[in-house]
Chain A
Amino acid sequence: MDTVASWGEHAATQPTHHVPPAWRERLEARVLHPLRSTGFRYYVWVAFLLALIGWALYAYSQQLERGLIVTGMRDRISWGLYIASFVFFIGISHAGTLLSAILRAVKARWQMSITRMAEFITVVALMVGALFPFLDMGRPERILNLLTYGRWQSPLLWDIMAIGTYLTGSTLYLYLPLIPDFALCRDRLGPSAPAWKRWFFTAAALGWQGTPAQRLALDRAMTVMMIVIIPVAVSVHTVVSWIFAMTLRDPLNSTVFGAYFVAGAIFSGIASIIILMAVLRRLLHLEEYITATQFVSLGYLLGAFTLIMGYFNLSEYAVTGYKMAEGTRFHFEQLMVGPFAGLFWFYILGGMVLPGLIILYPRTRTIAGIVTASVLVLVAMWIERYLIVVTGFRVPLMPYDPAWYMPTWVEWSILAGAFALFALIITVFAKLFPVVSLWEVIEHRGPEPAPLRSGTQPAPGPDVRGRAVGRTP
């Protein structure tokens, strides 16, 4: 019978994990519980999200019928809430890449229990984010013109290619680690599960039995994707930044935008993972498996990125402010002391300074504190995208008064619908797929070790090898 110890080349070089059967059974029961039963609150939540999405569809129907005049966008400020939200969602999609790929590449084991959630966020955020360019078009059927008449020289075409490539790769990278868990679901859910679920898990498991050859193939595939997805993710956020930076508009015409957007994407991605972790941990009672370790580790990352983002902002504003070209002066005034000052300083102070202090100070470096910091970061990063788009377009290019932009109810409704769609897809995913990567947690992490007391050695546990992920004997 195949055992945990036979997985991968690490088996012969690392000691076998001590996986108590009770712990493993508890883990499986907790993680598979949402797949087995559905409570009343779930339906209420889904109904609420569907209502929001329905209202957003009504708002979009108004936009389709009457044109973009129902939005606040006009000829001078032609990008607004939609494009800001597009950049925001593409940004938080970096979460999965960071956790699943980068941390897996450096063998950071603490991320095993949350890697599935991160991969969820990546795929769902990409799906929702990719809708916004369509929403921004008054004539969405003309999207095909981008492909039939597109030129390689266009950053918009680079955007389409990059996001399409990233979405495909992220979907593959989400699916691959799910295969053993699909097999587990196939074997564990039993005849009480609906027939369509049993069929789905059987088909999706691809006949997984946990044989060495299968493990080898899967390990190789995941390694390829782990290596490939990192540069793809970096390229996506860089290319998204270039739709602004490749223009000649004064505040957007910056060479630092590529790196700035990548850092911002990781920053907002970490915050989104922390928030989703907290929510799912609370709702699904995963406190035993998602502990303070994950929150504090991600909190340190978040804190590090407050410094990185602060550095990028300082570099950008110090360099342009030192020269203070005509358009820059206007931009500085509108941003720092003018009509957008409130939003800008909230982004700086509430989005970087305050979260950094919360994470720096040990007494506030708790789960609640880190989640609070993450909420502040996420709100601030959305505001930052909004400021980049709207204030960038507001700098006059010709001698006329600067235009004003204010989102209308249509835009707010559609944005709310997009967030609701994001939450709905995550909710459905959590109902269909295990939110914790069971086989990885079992095989690579095991239960959290008990803290040692001084002068004592931990008693050796029984040499119990966990059962293989796959068919039960």
Chain B
Amino acid sequence: MPSRSLGYASAALVAAALLALTPWLGPARVAHAQASGPAKIRVEITDNGFKGVSGNFSGEGEGFTIAVEPGQEVELTFVWAHQAYVDDAHAFVLKGYGLETPEINAANREATLKFVANKAGTFDLKCDVHCEVHERLIGSLKVSRSSGTSASPAASAAAPSALSIRVPAAAELGQRVLLQARLLDASGEPLARAPVIFSVPTSFLNKSSDVVVAKALTDKEGRAAAEYEVRSAGQLTIQADYRGNERYAPAKASAELVVGEAPRQLYTEHAGVRIPGLNAAPALGPTMVGLGQVRGPLAALSTLWPALSGWPIALALLVIWSSYAAVVVLTFRVAGAGSVAATVPARRLPAARVALEPIVRHGLWSGVALAVAIVVAALSIMAAVRGFEHMLADLGTHGGYLALIALSAGALETLVGHAPFRGQRWVAALGALGIAVALAALLSCCLWALTYRLPVVSQVTLALILNEVPVALAGLALSALSLVVLLHLRQAPRHAAMRPEVRP
């Protein structure tokens, strides 16, 4: 049967796919070609840290690097050779291979690690015993095909070249400086169109390397120049590096650049678009209006308020969670509507009366009481903190909010009070959203007043415009929408079957 065959084929395909995904979804290891003969490296431990004696190595101290090829047998010998720190003892670990030497000291001066470099990559080599030169005993083992830092055979037969570098003696952090280098051959003739790389030694955690900061080609005078924006303070060593070719040997040069100010890094605090209130400080804030003392606990509260930052996110969350709240209310109405026995008059009523009747019947007085309570509470807080005169000014600027609250409170009452007309619950829910948003704006005003003690009416208005209008606009829109729908709503439902019927 085709389906059975397909099933077997599909099972085989999946099994093959799973096999292909092994081993354990790790990346395929680099295939190792036959390595060259064993690498014998001898390293002395001096008062300055690592010092290579023989073998393929580069650098000294904490930049010490041993290079071997994949698959190569390695014999790494550490020789204790201190002059000053005669009491120092060391034991070295090679990360990645899990190898560790026994302790070497003045009495026991040598220890050897023998292993096969069967893992590619760069592995830390460090002293595992606290000692006087501990920070300088951090090196690395580099296992790669293009290992080797010594000059290539081709380059060793090339003619020598001379590179000189010129940099300013001093600079300021962030300043753009001109790095210049001149490349000449042994007879003093300039080498044209040769690439010169400018780099700066940089350390990050326990890794050190040269970071290329500029590249330039030499002109017919053998001069190469590039600009560099100084991004670190302190004493910097600028290196110029000519990598050589088949005719000329590599050459290096370095110079010191002193950058003022305490050692620190330049970094950009803000990236991309700056949106006041989202990833930038609000346009109106303490530094701009020269506000007074910020009260302690209330200042902490204000940092959470979305009006000061992230108001779009808070607004979106407010809308979504308000929808959830409306759904929860509707769900509980399922529980309470099991025995609905209300009858609905079938006669048609004027639209205005339809809109106002529930408010008049259910919501007017309680809605007004609710609004008055909110206003009194808010004004009391503002009066207590900022004084009676400022409270009166705030009352004038917040009159619109108070009207919103009164209308929305009536709609809220309708929602709670079993509105019998179809659709009015939805309208009331919209009004409830409006009251929530309007309350948010009102509380925002209170928090501004509490934390920043805004001194004059104009400042309050400016604060409202810049920080609270987005919130208030949402409340206005929702409440206005609910009013419009209420005013245009027909009383009679379209389908008689939708009416809650009287149950015997």
Contacts and interface: CB of A to CB of B under 8 A. Distances in A.
Contacts of B337: 211, 213-214, 216-217
Contact of A366 (B6, B142, B313): B6
A9 interface: yes
Interface string B300-344: 000000100110011001001101101110111111011110000
B500 A375 contact: no
B25 A407 contact: yes
A379 B498 contact: no
Contacts of A172: 324, 327-328, 331
A208 B3 contact: no
B338 A165 contact: no
Given A75-B205, A221-B327, A368 B320 contact: no
B106 interface: no
A314 B405 CA distance: 53
Contact of B14 (A208, A209, A375): A375
A401 interface: yes
Interface stretch (B16-24, B84-92, B481-489): B16-24
Interface in B8-45: 10, 13-14, 17-18, 20-21, 24-30
A207 B324 contact: no
Contacts of B13: 372, 376
Contacts of A399: 209-212
Contacts, number: 169
Interface stretch (A34-42, A265-273, A338-346): A338-346
A442 B339 CA distance: 24
A160 B321 CA distance: 15
Contact of A228 (B205, B317, B323, B328): B323
B297 interface: no
A9 B20 contact: no
Interface of A is mostly: helix
B399 interface: no
B306 A152 contact: yes
A406 interface: yes
Interface string A313-335: 00000000000000000000010
Given A206-B335, A209-B338, A368 B306 contact: no
Contacts of A54: none
A384 to B, nearest CB: 12
Given A213-B337, A217-B330, A368 B212 contact: no
Contacts of A386: 25
B339 to A, nearest CB: 8
Contacts of B27: 334, 338-340, 404-406
B221 to A, nearest CB: 30
Contacts of A209: 338
A168 B10 contact: no
A12 B495 CA distance: 8
B438 to A, nearest CB: 21
Interface string A240-255: 0000000010000000
A169 interface: yes
B207 interface: yes
Interface in A206-229: 206-209, 211-214, 216-218, 220-221, 224-225, 228
A66 to B, nearest CB: 16
Contacts of A366: 2-3, 6
Contact of B121 (A161, A372, A401): A401
B328 A368 contact: no
Given A217-B330, A375-B14, A412-B24, A363 B309 contact: no
A12 B497 contact: yes
Contact of B313 (A152, A176, A367, A372): A152
Contacts of B326: 224
Interface string A160-186: 010001001100100110010000000
B7 interface: yes
A179 B10 contact: no
A339 B30 CA distance: 8
A221 B2 CA distance: 46
A400 B122 contact: yes
B106 to A, nearest CB: 34
Contact of A9 (B328, B338, B495, B503): B495
Contacts of B338: 207-209, 211, 213-214
Contacts of A447: none
Contacts of A195: none
B3 A368 contact: yes
Contacts of B498: 9, 212, 216
A372 B6 contact: yes
Task: Name the residue in A152, A179, A339, A404 with the highest tally of chain B Cβ atoms < 10 Å from its Cβ.
Answer: A152
Contacts of A206: 331-332, 334-335
Given A372-B10, A407-B25, A6 B320 contact: no
13 contacts: A9-B494, A152-B278, A175-B331, A208-B334, A214-B338, A220-B426, A221-B334, A340-B27, A346-B20, A368-B7, A369-B6, A376-B13, A400-B122
| Shortest Cβ-Cβ A-B pairs, 4 listed | A152-B310, A339-B27, A372-B10, A406-B26
Given A176-B331, A207-B334, A220-B426, 18 more contacts: A9-B495, A152-B306, A158-B313, A161-B313, A161-B317, A172-B328, A213-B500, A217-B334, A225-B323, A339-B29, A346-B17, A372-B7, A372-B13, A386-B25, A398-B207, A399-B209, A399-B210, A399-B212
Interface of A: 6, 9, 11-12, 75, 151-153, 158, 161, 165, 168-169, 172, 175-176, 179, 206-209, 211-214, 216-218, 220-221, 224-225, 228, 232, 248, 334, 338-343, 346, 350, 363-364, 366-369, 372, 375-376, 379, 383, 386, 398-401, 403-407, 412
